[in-house]
């Protein structure tokens, strides 16, 4: 199956932490990507996970559990500029065909 | 290192016309993928080219086609444009562990 599920929208306060979950069908998994997309702009690459565990990059971290078909993106010390859509994408086979979830719109409030 | 470059940034075409979009990948990347993004359907994979060969294909009609040149630059063509083809067309260049998007071409069909 191709279903990749993410919450539609989340709201958080400036300075707080938000966790965006992504679940996917586990068959044929070959990597998971997270992107940030501001309105009217192209997606920006945030992270890539292919092995289980946590990858940390500054204020952003991404976690993967292959057996559970589950990933999350953790945004710490939220800033107003983090208000954007966050897209989870799965690569299943060789090559670079990515299947995207619908995206999670995060709104950061003062 | 230059990023992914797409031209043109904006296009307005009439139903029935055809259009060609161009993408220059990051230097050294041989894989170029194309995506269509609309508010209703989200980001959907069109096709991927690697070393001048189509490696993956999405579920779009034959009116959508592409090619890749020996310098890795890629073009996509849409013939007999329909109103529903209005979208942001994104190209991504990548390796096994990353995929970066260009700024996109916003196509409006009237």
Per-residue model confidence as pLDDT tens digits over A58-83: 999 999 999 999 999 999 999 999 99
CA distance B83 to B13: 10
User: Min CA distance, B35 vs chain A (Å)?
Assistant: 9
Identify which of B31, B48, B90 has the shortest CB distance to residue A42.
B90
CA distance A96 to A8: 25
Residue pairs between chains A and B whose CB atoms are closer than 8 Å: 57
Residue range B35-53: mean pLDDT, rounded: 94
CA distance B10 to A110: 35
Residues in chain B with CB shorter than 8 Å from the CB of A49 are none
Beta strand pairing status for B10-13 and B105-109? parallel
Instruction: Tell the residue number behind the tokens 């069109």, with chain if given.
Output: B46
Instruction: Report the candidate in B11, B41, B29, B4 with the shortest Cα–Cα distance to residue A103.
Output: B41
Predicted local confidence at residue B97, as pLDDT: 87
Beta strand pairing status for A18-24 and A98-100? unpaired
Evaluate whether A23 touches A4 at the Cβ level (below 8 Å): yes
pLDDT at residue B88 greater than cutoff 70: yes
Q: Is B49 helix (H, G, I), strand (E, B) or coil?
A: strand
Predicted local confidence at residue A95, as pLDDT: 81
Residues in chain A with CB shorter than 8 Å from the CB of B98 are 45, 48
In terms of average pLDDT, the best of A91-95, B16-20, B51-55 is B16-20
Evaluate whether A84 touches A65 at the Cβ level (below 8 Å): no
Predicted local confidence at residue A2, as pLDDT: 64
Determine phi and psi for B17, rounding to 5 degrees: -75, 175
Predicted local confidence at residue A65, as pLDDT: 97
Strand partners for B74: B23, B68
Residue B14: cis peptide before it, omega within 30 degrees of 0: no
Cβ within 8 Å, pair A99-B45: yes
B101 touching chain A per CB within 8 A? yes
**Window 33-62 of A, Cβ < 8 Å to B:** 33, 35, 41-45, 48, 50
* Mean pLDDT score across all residues of chain B: 95
Predicted local confidence at residue A1, as pLDDT: 44
**Per-residue tens of pLDDT for chain A, all 110 residues:** 468 999 999 999 999 999 999 999 878 889 999 999 999 999 999 999 999 999 999 999 999 999 999 999 999 999 999 999 999 999 987 788 999 999 999 999 99
Residues in chain B with CB shorter than 8 Å from the CB of A45 are 98-101
A5 touching chain B per CB within 8 A? no
Determine phi and psi for A82, rounding to 5 degrees: -80, -5
Inter-CA distances, B79 with A44, A70, B1, B34, B61, Å = 29, 39, 34, 16, 10
pLDDT at residue B39 greater than cutoff 50: yes
Residues in chain B with CB shorter than 8 Å from the CB of A41 are 103
Burial of B42 (0-12, 13-18, 19+ CB in 10 A): middle
Determine phi and psi for A32, rounding to 5 degrees: -130, 135
Inter-CA distances, A51 with A16, A32, A54, A71, B102, Å = 28, 9, 9, 11, 27
């Amino acid at each position: 199956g191709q279903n990749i599920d993410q919450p539609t929208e989340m709201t958080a306060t400036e300075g707080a932490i938000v966790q965006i979950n992504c679940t996917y069908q586990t068959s044929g998994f070959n990597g998971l990507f997270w992107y940030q997309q501001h309105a009217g702009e192209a997606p920006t690459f945030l992270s890539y996970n292919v092995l289980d565990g946590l990858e940390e990059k500054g204020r952003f971290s991404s976690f993967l559990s292959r057996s559970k078909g589950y990933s999350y993106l953790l945004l710490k010390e939220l800033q107003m500029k983090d208000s954007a859509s966050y897209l989870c994408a799965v690569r299943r086979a060789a090559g670079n065909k990515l299947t995207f979830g619908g995206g999670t719109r995060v709104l950061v409030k003062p | 290192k230059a990023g992914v470059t797409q031209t043109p940034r904006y296009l307005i075409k009439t139903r029935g016309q055809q259009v060609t979009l161009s993408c220059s990948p990051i230097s050294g990347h041989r894989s170029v993928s194309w995506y269509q993004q609309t508010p209703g359907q989200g980001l959907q994979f069109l096709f991927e080219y690697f070393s001048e060969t189509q490696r993956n294909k999405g579920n779009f009609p034959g009116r959508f086609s592409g090619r890749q040149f020996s310098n890795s630059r890629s073009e996509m063509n849409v013939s007999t444009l329909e109103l529903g083809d209005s979208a942001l067309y994104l190209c991504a260049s990548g390796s096994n562990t990353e995929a970066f998007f260009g700024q996109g071409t916003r196509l409006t069909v009237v």
